[in-house]
Amino acid sequence: MSTSVMIPKNGSFASKNTNSNFQNWSSFLDDIFSKELPSSLMSNYDSTLSLPKVNIKEDAESFIIEAAAPGLEKSDFQINLENRVLSIAVEKEVKNESENEHYRRKEFGYSSFKRSFTLPETVNEEGIKAEYKDGILNISLPKKEEAKQKPARNIEIF
C-alpha cells in the first residue's frame, strides 16, 4: 500500500494516514508560534534596546571592544571589572507622560542588557579606558608590557 506525503505550511512531513486531530493540533501550534505577540502584551517593553553587537580588535598594544549602542547616554552605562570579567550593563527607564493631570493613559517602559567578557591575563587592568561617542562604546584594554608584541629583528649567525 502506498502512502502519499503532504508537506504542510511548517515544512515538516506528515503522512496522509495520520490522525486528523493531530494535524489540526499541529497546525494550531504552528499558527501560534509563527506569529508575534500582540502589541498590547508588549506595550510596556522598549523593543528599541537590544543586546548590542560587538567587535573585538587586537593590535600590538591593546585589545579594543567596540559595542554598537545608539540612542543611549554616557550616563546609561555601567562598566565593571571583577576577577578578570569585564561587564557592560545598561538600564534605561522610558517615561511617556501626559502633562494633563486628567490623563486616561500613562505609559512607561524599562529596558536593560548586560554583556560580560573574560579578559586574558595579558590585559593591564589598571589601564582600561572607555569612551562613548556617536552611538559606539569603545573600551581600550591595554596589554601588559611582557605581553606586547615585539618587533621582528634579525638574529646574527656566528
**Number of domains within the chain:** 2
Checking if the pLDDT of 6 tops 60, the result is no
Read off the pLDDT band of 14 (50, 70, 90).
very low
Q: Do residues 70 and 55 touch, judged by C-beta distance below 8 A?
A: no
Could you tell me how far CA 149 lies from the centroid of its own chain? 31
Give yes or no: residues 63 and 129 share one domain.
yes
The contacts of residue 54 (CB under 8 Å, 6+ apart) are 65, 66, 67, 68, 115
Which stretch of DSSP H or E encloses residue 78?
Answer: strand 77-82
Q: Are strands 5-6 and 85-96 parallel, antiparallel or unpaired?
A: unpaired
Q: Is 0.75 surpassed by the pTM of this model? A: no
Identify the residue with better confidence: 93 or 44: 93
Average pLDDT over residues 69-94: 90
Q: In what order do the strands lie in the sheet with 107-118?
A: 77-82, 85-96, 107-118
**C-alpha distances out from residue 22 to 9, 19, 35, 48, 135, Å:** 15, 5, 20, 39, 50
HSE value, Cβ hemisphere, 13 Å, CA-based, for 65: 21
- 24 located within any domain: yes
Q: Which grid coordinates belong to 149?
A: 608584541
C-alpha to C-alpha distance for 43 and 47, rounded to whole angstroms: 9
55 and 128, same domain (yes or no) = yes
Q: 66 and 28 in one domain? A: no
Q: Which three cell numbers stand for residue 30?
A: 504552528
Which residues span the domain enclosing 20? 5-35
Residues 104, 64, single domain; the answer is: yes
pLDDT digits (tens, 9 = 90+) for 45-69: 444 556 889 999 999 899 999 999 8
